[in-house]
Amino acid sequence: MAASSEPDGSVASLPPTPAIGWIGLGEMGLPMATNLVAAGNRVVGLDREPARVEAASRAGVEAAGSLPALLGEDVTVLVTMLRTGVQTAELLLGPEGVAAIATRPLDVVMMSTMDPPSVERLARECAERDLTLLDVPVSGGVRGAEAGSLSIMASGDPAALARVRPLLEPLGARVHQLGEQPGASQAAKLANQVMMATSIAGTYEALALAGDYGLEPEPVIAAVLDGTGASWPLAHWDWMRSLWEEYEPEGALDILDKDLKAVIAAVRERGADLPVTEATFARLTELWDGARTAAAERRAAG
């Protein structure tokens, strides 16, 4: 479409295209932002790691050099995908954060995994600063992020959720709305992590048991996937075990470990009785700490 002309012959400037602001372009954030671009959205991204920003730029994400630059790009909604709650709170409410810089109210889609009480507090504090915080963690791992098949758990203000739903749909197989209270989705995500962690530990020990009887893992996995012991970790076991057998610092294993620590912290804060979860976490910590030690020894040796 040709740009319209003013009476004096000059070309009228077109209004800027509304953009989705995306902060956090790591293992999960980058493929998710890329899927939004592929769905026809304008996405402006920011990350503290230049290599991540470069990778996002190659995928069609516009790079913002700073938070003020990102918020100045006619951003109508902001998505955050950071590793920790502390990072998220500082980004949103810190002295040089979003609330201090934004010139208009914003919907903030917070996709990190945190403990529910912290999200409730953060949402209240954001509301006082014209930020509507939506609690939207996801499950499905890096593969789900890449395939756009994540399970998306959403809670918060219904009107705001309706506004952002079109940007959530390209990211996942289904958007599960879990109520109006921020923190509700985090409770569901913690439940998801408990179920997955116990399955990982059980699968690890069950395959070791089969091995003691002389069975290779592959035929056992194939048989169990057709039976009642099937699970997501078992169906993706080659990838799951690669997390510790081929451990990479700051990778998917560390993200999962962080999430499980959030589970344990939440359990202890509420005084809940989850002995299987506690035992599972101890078992996985032992396994994963051994993987980190072995990886450090390999790096030191070569």
Closest among 153, 149, 127, 132 to 140, alpha carbons compared: 149
Query: Please, are residues 30 and 52 in contact by the beta-carbon 8 Å criterion?
Result: yes
Judged by phi (left if over 0) then psi (alpha if -120 to 50, else beta), residue 279 lies in alpha
Question: DSSP H helical segments within the chain, as ranges?
Answer: 29-38, 50-58, 67-71, 85-93, 98-101, 116-127, 141-147, 158-168, 184-212, 217-225, 232-235, 237-245, 252-270, 275-301
Q: Is 261 a catalytic residue?
A: no
Determine contact, residues 233/123, Cβ cutoff 8 Å. no
In whole angstroms, what is the distance from residue 246 CA to residue 289 CA? Answer: 13
Q: How large is the angle between the packed helices 217-225 and 184-212, nearest 10 degrees? A: 130
Catalytic residue among 37, 148, 189, 233: 189
Contact status, residue 2 vs residue 27, Cβ threshold 8 Å: no
Side chain identity at residue 265, one-letter code: A
The whole-angstrom separation of Cα 90 and Cα 12 is 40
Distance, in Å, from the CA atom of 117 to the CA atom of 270, rounded to the nearest integer, reads 10
Across the strands, what pairs with 126?
A: none
Q: Are 1 and 11 in contact (CB under 8 A)?
A: no
Q: Which residues are tagged catalytic?
A: 189
